[in-house]
Amino acid sequence: MKFAVVVFPGSNCDHDTEYVARTVLGQDVELIWHKDSSLKGADAVILPGGFAHGDYLRTGAIARFSPIMQEVSKFAAAGGPVLGICNGFQVLLEAGLLPGAMLRNRSLKFRCEFLHVGVEQTDTPFTMACRPGQRLRIPIAHGDGNYYAEPEVVAQLERNRQVVFRYVSASGEVSDEANPNGSVNNIAGICNEARNVVGLMPHPERACELAVGSADGLAVFESILKWGRESFDGDTLTMATAPAVLNK
């Protein structure tokens, strides 16, 4: 399995994501500079966390114009798995690969802490190794993670089962107390209609070893590997088979 981790100027979780893919999971991984125009044959693409272009103008607003984003869009359109974590999620929203927008946290403060998210959908490349309803203890670290979309868009997301992750309490309840930033319907992560593009605000790559507080985030990465195993035909990834795998 080969991962591409896109590096925008200001990305700062690129090394952490690369470390998980290479050292924790023993996979092939390449950091791809945002000015590149090739994903170098990657099987899965991750847009990492950080402050691309300093978050100036709006989070993700400038990064969507980077040359590599055309390739990411093409890759996504062909069914390739694309994961946006935190700032990467914000970039996906700005790029129109996912619906909605991010507002300032309702506390108006940056917030960094471990919390719980519930996995609601397991038919995406990033959750297929999870149990439905599985709770993951993973951290957030953001100032603009307050997910917003028009009511009809939110209704559509819910109807299409596109809400993949939701903030929950330690016992699994979806409550206002468990919502760290004011996101509509406690939404922590969503997917596109084709279910191959996923964005989430929490950082699974920061929770892949017990030594750093939790290994729950591994479920996300193990899902990618599982997806890879089930999508590979011999040595070549056959994109055409991906939706079939997902719809199983």
Partner 1 sequence: MTPDPITDSVLQRHGVTREEYDRIVSMLGRNPNLTELGIFSVMWSEHCSYKSSRVHLKTLPTTGSRVLQGPGENAGAVDIGDGLAAVFKIESHNHPSFIEPYQGAATGVGGIIRDIFTMGARPIALLNSLRFGPLDDPLVRRTMSGVVSGIGGYGNAIGIPTVGGEIGFDRSYTGNPLVNVFCLGISRADEIIKGTASGVGNAVYYVGAKTGRDGIHGATMASAEFDDTLNEKRPAVQVGDPFMEKLLLEACLEVMKTDALVGIQDMGAAGLTCSTCEMGSRGGAGVEIDVARVPQRETGMTPYEIMLSESQERMLLVVKKGREAEVERIFDKWDLHAVHIGEVTADGRLRVKEHGKVVADIPNRALTDEAPMYRRPMATPGYLETAQKLDLAALPAPPSPREVFKRMLASPGIASKRWVYRQYDHMVRTNTLLLPGMGTAVVRVKETPRALAMSVDCNGRFVYLDPFLGAQLAVAEAARNVACAGGLPIGATNCLNFGNPEKPEIMWQFGRAVEGMGAACRALDIPITGGNVSLYNETDGSGVLPTPVIGVVGLIEDATRVVGRAFRSEGDAVVLLGETRNELGGSEFLHVVHDQIRGLPPQLDLAQEAALQRVLVEGAASGMIRSAHDCAEGGVAVTLAECCFDTQLGVTADLAGVAAAAAKYRETAALFSESASRVVVSVAPAQVAALTAMAEKAGVPARVIGRVGGSRIQIAVEGTRAIDELVSDAERIWATSIESWFAQRRAIA
Contact between 182 and partner 1 by CB under 8 A: the answer reads no
Pairing assessment for the beta strands 163-168 and 232-233 based on DSSP bridges? unpaired
86 is catalytic: yes
Q: Contacts with partner 1: how many residues (CB under 8 A)?
A: 35
HEC string of the chain?
A: CEEEEEECCCECCHHHHHHHHHHHCCCEEEEEECCCCCCCCCCEEEECCECHHHHCCCCCCCHHHCCHHHHHHHHHHCCCCEEEECHHHHHHHHCCCCCCEEECCCCCCCEEEEEEEEECCCCCCCCCCCCCCCEEEEEEEECCCEEECCHHHHHHHHHCCCEEEEEECCCCCCCCCCCCCCCHHHEEEEECCCCCEEEECCCHHHCCEHHHCECCCHHHHHHHHHHHHHHEECCEECHHHHHHHHHC
Contact between 205 and partner 1 by CB under 8 A: the answer reads yes
Stretch that binds partner 1, among 64-72, 122-130, 138-146, 238-246 (CB under 8 A): 138-146
Contact between 18 and partner 1 by CB under 8 A: the answer reads no
Closer of 44 and 138 to partner 1 (Cβ): 138
Contact between 109 and partner 1 by CB under 8 A: the answer reads yes
Q: Which residues lie closer than 8 Å to 43 by C-beta, 6 or more apart?
A: 1, 2, 3, 80, 81, 228, 237
Contact between 19 and partner 1 by CB under 8 A: the answer reads yes
| Least separation in angstroms between CB 193 and partner 1 | 32
Using CB under 8 A, which residues numbered 60 to 99 contact partner 1?
none
Q: Per-residue string for binding with partner 1, 20-39, x by CB under 8 A?
A: x--x---------x-x----
Question: Residue 99's CB: how many other CB atoms inside 10 A?
Answer: 17
d(CA 139, CA 217): 9
| Least separation in angstroms between CB 217 and partner 1 | 10
Stretch that binds partner 1, among 52-60, 90-98, 125-133, 232-240 (CB under 8 A): 52-60
Closer of 78 and 170 to partner 1 (Cβ): 170
Closer of 107 and 175 to partner 1 (Cβ): 107
Catalytic residue among 116, 130, 205, 208: 205
| Least separation in angstroms between CB 23 and partner 1 | 8
Catalytic residue among 13, 86, 130, 191: 86
| Site residues (vs partner 1, CB under 8 A) | 9-10, 12-13, 15-16, 19-20, 23, 33, 35, 49-51, 53-56, 109-114, 139, 141, 143, 203, 205-206, 208-209, 211-213
Q: Active-site residue numbers?
A: 86, 203, 205
